[in-house]
Amino acid sequence: MTVEQATARRLDGSAAAAEIRERIRPRIEAFTRRAGRAPKLGILLAGSDPGSEIYVRNKMKSSAELGMESDLRRLPETAALGDALEIVAEFNASATHDGILVQSPLPDGMGSDAEQQVFDAIAPGKDVDGFNPANVGRLVQKRPALAPCTPSGIIDLLDREGVEISGARAVVIGRSDIVGKPMAMLLLHRNATVTICHSRTRDLPGVAAEADILVAAIGRAAFVTREFVKPGATVVDVGMNRLDDRAQVEALFGAGSRKLAAFDRRGSVVTGDVHPAVAQVAGALTPVPGGVGPLTIAMLLANTVSAAEGRQALA
């Protein structure tokens, strides 16, 4: 038996993302009629990271399919931090750029704190990633703000799938500013009892196994095993880890698995932070791919529309 023969209900992020896109389509059309132009996203892509190239291409494709505009600015691997800040300043000052996305990671040559400096420089009203300190502060205080896309998409998915958040015990593994911390805040605002875990958490499997909702965002392939999961729990896998070792893929998924067949065709596969065997004990589980990834892009587009509407209301 392969690990793919499992019982957990699949939480379909692709279907949820499609619903989000259809919800915002009328808002895009209404904004375009009022403003005489479509909502527009300014994108900065620095360096040549292959994953970033794919992410940006997918974001631009999804934007165009909804009738939105995007403006991609590229910088070489050798660019300085000042070059990035100059583009952000141009986007900030623009009357037609409603949202700003700076694709991570930035080149190492820009410095260890480059991303923080760039996020700090983005105008809060155009900060569609929700990383500017002003938006982070508003999120903590449960005030209207542009919230980070991945956590927002996860909340939307849980609601769509009828997962009860209020009163639930939620555990988030990972404390990043991009996913872990804002995820905890959004769950807390929905009246979950939230624990954030990390590499120094004592008895991490035991703490995680108390969760009704478990969010894995640690960036380590198949790290969350069955012992981390309470039977029947809802498990959200945020991880996107590339595996290039055939033996590792076979050990994780089994000799007759679809993942191994995909590896043999492509030479690599993507898996999450959750071990595939978790599907045999969890009540519901997001797949990788097809889970959180599509939600992130859909929420980015939704945030861009919200930013455009907000700017129009102030005009």
Per-residue pLDDT of the chain (315 residues; tens, 9 = 90+): 445 556 899 999 999 999 999 999 999 999 999 999 999 999 999 998 887 888 899 999 999 999 999 999 999 999 999 999 999 999 999 999 999 999 999 999 999 999 999 999 999 999 999 999 999 999 999 998 899 999 999 999 999 999 999 999 999 999 999 999 999 999 999 999 999 999 999 999 999 999 999 999 999 999 999 999 999 999 999 999 999 999 999 999 999 999 999 999 999 999 999 999 999 999 999 999 999 999 999 999 999 999 999 998 887
Structure-derived torsion over alpha carbons of residues 177, 178, 179, 183, reported in degrees to the nearest 10: 70
The C-alpha R_g of the chain, in whole angstroms, comes to 20
- One-letter amino acid at 59 equals K
For residue 224, give the nearest of 210, 212, 209, 213 by alpha carbon.
Answer: 209
Secondary structure of residue 98 in the 3-state scheme: coil
pLDDT of 1 reads 40
Spans of all domains in the chain: 36-123, 148-293
- One-letter amino acid at 48 equals S
Q: Give the pair of three-digit tokens for residue 57.
A: 């291409």
Catalytic residues: 59, 103, 129
Q: Which residues contact 84 (CB under 8 A, 6 or more apart)?
A: 44, 46, 75, 102, 106, 110, 114, 118
Question: What is the DSSP annotation of 150-202?
Answer: HHHHHHHHHHHTT---TT-EEEEE---TTTHHHHHHHHHHTT-EEEEE-TT-T
pLDDT of 5 reads 55
Q: Give the pair of three-digit tokens for residue 27.
A: 């808002």
User: Fold for domain 148-293?
Assistant: Rossmann fold (3.40.50)
Q: Do domains 36-123 and 148-293 have the same CATH topology?
A: yes
Q: Give the pair of three-digit tokens for residue 313.
A: 């209301």
- What is the CATH class of 36-123? alpha beta
Q: Which residues pair with 173 in a beta bridge?
A: 197, 216
Q: Which residues contact 232 (CB under 8 A, 6 or more apart)?
A: 282, 283
Q: Which residues pair with 224 in a beta bridge?
A: 274
